[in-house]
Structure 1
């Protein structure tokens, strides 16, 4: 099995709050996975001895995100590797849903296996980009990860598109590796 020094993941989290009103919840947009189903994916087997995991997580579920990191065999470095400030198509700050405050940012944590090498110290945490389809992250983040880690073997899990230089796995792309596909909607 091919090993990767950079694993980029955006798991399809199954929220405790399904946002049934107006069918706004993630489960109405794409197939989601239970925490148990995410945790048992053999992501650790894809990791090289020295690997960075960059994983998007949802604010109401930090403990669950940490459980996934541990289950996949990584150690948390920061819950805020990247913070994406969402902009509308008109360049204004997005006014999203939220549990206590109106959400207009998302975070991507960094966790490691072994001692991956950072090749650039100039990569900034803050990303400001327009929102697109539900939960689709800015393409710029992939570029920043390559700048941070260099041209290393890399894969995007739960990918929505093919991206040059990246292997991909997900139910919306032709996958480069064999792994169980995302579960049916809950």
Structure 2
């Protein structure tokens, strides 16, 4: 049964979309593909969602362009596909999987954890605070997973790293459950034993993006505003969640004030908007 064509508000790319290079090939075709497409994410108004404006350092693709990639021409007759998809774009993920010649059979959930093991509350969303991402699993032809998969749970629980970077634990997971040769599409860093494809694939590439302070270093990305200027509601929501993550990892309101250049009152307001449990003034941090 074919999934209905998803209908979403159309978002304009944040930078010019470049033409995709040809897909690599191997004799007999790839047995396993891992893909993390640069989805073009639009909010309810059709604008690029505020939290995704940081993605302008990556080339994004619309749904039709992703579906049009000739994946079916480079895979084996029997093959596995692991496809990352945002929670809000699940129907699009199924549509891409079918366009590439695979049928959906299961999924793996990435549960993002804080240092203390609790859920990472920095996720965003219009309806719920997303602390998970979905890795769809599809099959082309007829090929079961390898023996280790019989005892493998369909969950990866790790701390979040650079923006947009998926957990390194995905590789041993996939290598234990599916056969090679392996192709990673839209790859951002090298992995031994994998053939890479994407505009950021490079054997010497350092991962892009920022690691959040308290999670290994990084910076807060706060828009410059005049003293009495109000932040747009969606921008304030996304920024408040980012500040909350830094605050809950140990930074003080004063630290956040110095880093953002905002007033103490604005920082407190953003934290309160994000639902942060503020520590008593003058207390330990």
Decide: shared fold, TM above 0.5: yes
Matches within 5 A, 1:82-97: 82-89=108-115, 91-95=117-121, 96-97=123-124
**Consecutive unaligned residues in structure 1, runs of 5 or more:** 176-186
For normalisation by structure 1, the TM-score amounts to 0.85
Partner of residue 139, structure 1: 168
How far residue 149 of structure 1 moved from its aligned partner, in angstroms, is: 1.6
For normalisation by structure 2, the TM-score amounts to 0.56
Q: How many aligned positions are there?
A: 170
Task: Kindly report the root-mean-square deviation, in angstroms, between the aligned alpha carbons of the 2 structures.
Answer: 1.7
Change (3 A) 1:119 1:24: closer
How far residue 173 of structure 1 moved from its aligned partner, in angstroms, is: 1.4
How far residue 133 of structure 1 moved from its aligned partner, in angstroms, is: 1.2
Higher relative contact order (CA 8 A, sep 6+): 1
SS in 1 for 2:129: coil
Please identify which structure carries the higher strand content. Answer: 1
Partner of residue 106, structure 1: 133
CA distance in 1, matches of 2:103, 2:90: 14
Change (3 A) 1:24 1:61: closer
Please identify which structure carries the higher helix content. Answer: 2
CA distance in 1, matches of 2:143, 2:159: 31
**Consecutive unaligned residues in structure 2, runs of 5 or more:** 1-24, 204-285
How far residue 26 of structure 1 moved from its aligned partner, in angstroms, is: 5.5
Partner of residue 77, structure 2: 49
Report the structure number with the largest CA radius of gyration.
2
Partner of residue 49, structure 2: 19
SS in 2 for 1:139: coil
